[in-house]
Structure 1
């Protein structure tokens, strides 16, 4: 019976380890995407800020100023959403790591 339980714990451990590896890979992939998007957004933000400055110099371009402000707010919102996704993946990975630790501890106790 003890051997079966050890095998079950080992199977659970390996399954959990695969899930953590998959989540870690996904988190790293999304972080890479987020970094890339952040760089693009920073570039777009700088471009928007330059354009905004130029447009402020001409009083007849108020419509474009409003559009750039909207774009800037959308960029900020997108960054917040990306950070939220990263936090979710980080939290999920930590939970799986904790569960793996508990399974390892139980496995060691049974040995």
Structure 2
């Protein structure tokens, strides 16, 4: 499982939990506000993942199409996209599928 698959699965789990609580009539008004916020955050994370993945794919395509020596900065761009995805994975670091290689140095 790569970090993108991991993140998309965790986002699905977050959404399911929020939707379940929104269906519970005993949840307070502040709880409902929080669950709506969580759903918006899930969508924001998905959008951010799409942006990061687009940047990574564009960099990879440029590397493949480049001549030797023309890839300056492109490998760094790929490294930055990985760091961004690993930062998004951090809140889920206690999940059993989290890989230690995704943990950012503190």
Match runs of 1:16-95 below 5 Å = 32-54=2-24, 57-58=25-26, 61-95=28-62
Report how many residues are paired.
Answer: 69
The structure where helix makes up a greater share of residues is 1
- The answer (yes or no) to whether the contact 2:14–2:38 under 8 Å persists in 1 is no
Query: Which of the two has higher C-alpha Rg?
Result: 1
Structure 1 moving runs of 4+ over 3 Å: none
Please provide the CA RMSD for this pair.
2.3
- The TM-score with structure 2 as length reference comes to 0.58
Structure 2 alignment gaps of length 5 or more: 71-106
Residue 98 (structure 1) aligns with: 65
Alpha-carbon displacement from aligned partner over 1:32-66 (angstroms, at most 9, x marks no partner): 11110110110111111011111xx24x7211101
Shift of 1:82: 1.2
Within 1, Cα distance between the matches of 2:18 and 2:32?
9
Larger RCO: 1 or 2 (CA < 8 Å, sep 6+): 1
